[in-house]
Amino acid sequence: MAKRGKKYIEAKAKVDRTKRYELGDGVKLLLETAYAKFDEGVDLAIRLGVDPKKADQMVRGTVVLPHGTGKKVRVLVFAKGQKEKEALEAGADFVGGEDLIEKISKGWLEFDKAIATPDMMGLVSKLGKILGPRGLMPNPKVGTVTFDLEKAIKEIKAGKVEFKVEKAGVVHVPVGKVSFGFDRLLENIKTLLEVIIRAKPPTSKGIYLKSIALSTTMGPGIKIDPLDVRGLMKS
């Protein structure tokens, strides 16, 4: 295990590992324990009471964070004809068809999100083994296979993020940067949690929000009380 630095040890000492903090207190503590010289990202990890192996308990979706993620997202669009022009006018960073497909097949992956018009998916599907494992494959379930390119591009640029429960029942989502400050981070986190709570599968029994943790890129994890979160969502 890698040796932790002095600043990490000092930050960790401020966190009570036996305690589950109220959401607001957790965000405050997160900001107090951020120590890196760069603007650290903030991530939320949620363990859900679902069995991802069962198709009817798969939790996935998208949410537009009100204050974005703080990251510049490079959007690639697979389109042709008039739709190419539409994508460029909407702010896409890369637009094309077979030329882009060939470029990606040779190893180029300098983009963060990919969108495709439905008529391009026959060609794009050839990239499944490259894009799929990296979470870059356009998918109609999350709105990235669409003819409404303007809406899809602008939502992603504005801070739309995808979430999907992993094999262990955990959802990891970026919710902003330390520089956002308390209010903007809290609003982003509450917006995400509301969407995930609404996404609870009808077949999921028992406790749905099992555990929640906040962390910065370099800092220690901070446990959040799921009961407090459920109370906030109802108020």
Helix residue ranges per DSSP H, the chain: 6-13, 23-33, 82-89, 98-105, 121-124, 128-131, 149-158, 181-198, 226-234
Give the predicted TM-score (pTM) of the model. 0.83
Q: Name the band, by pLDDT with cuts 50, 70 and 90, for residue 8.
A: confident
Residue span(s) of the chain under CATH 3.40.50.790 come to 75-157
Residue span(s) of the chain under CATH 3.30.190.20 come to 6-69+160-234
Fold of the 6-69+160-234 domain: Ribulose 1,5 Bisphosphate Carboxylase/Oxygenase (3.30.190)
- Residue 2 has what pLDDT? 53
- Residue 125 has what pLDDT? 94
Query: 100-144: per-residue pLDDT in tens?
Result: 999 999 999 999 999 999 999 999 999 999 999 998 999 998 899
**Strand-strand pairing, 75-78 and 113-116:** parallel
Q: Name the band, by pLDDT with cuts 50, 70 and 90, for residue 76.
A: very high
- Residue 1 has what pLDDT? 44
Q: What is the mean pLDDT of residues 65-85?
A: 94
Q: What is the mean pLDDT of residues 71-75?
A: 92
- Residue 215 has what pLDDT? 95
Contacts of 232 (CB under 8 A, 6+ apart): 23, 190
94-96 β-sheet, strand order: 94-96, 75-78, 113-116
Query: Could you give the 3-state DSSP secondary structure of residue 4?
Result: coil
Query: How far, in Å, CA of 224 to CA of 226, rounded?
Result: 6
Fold of the 75-157 domain: Rossmann fold (3.40.50)
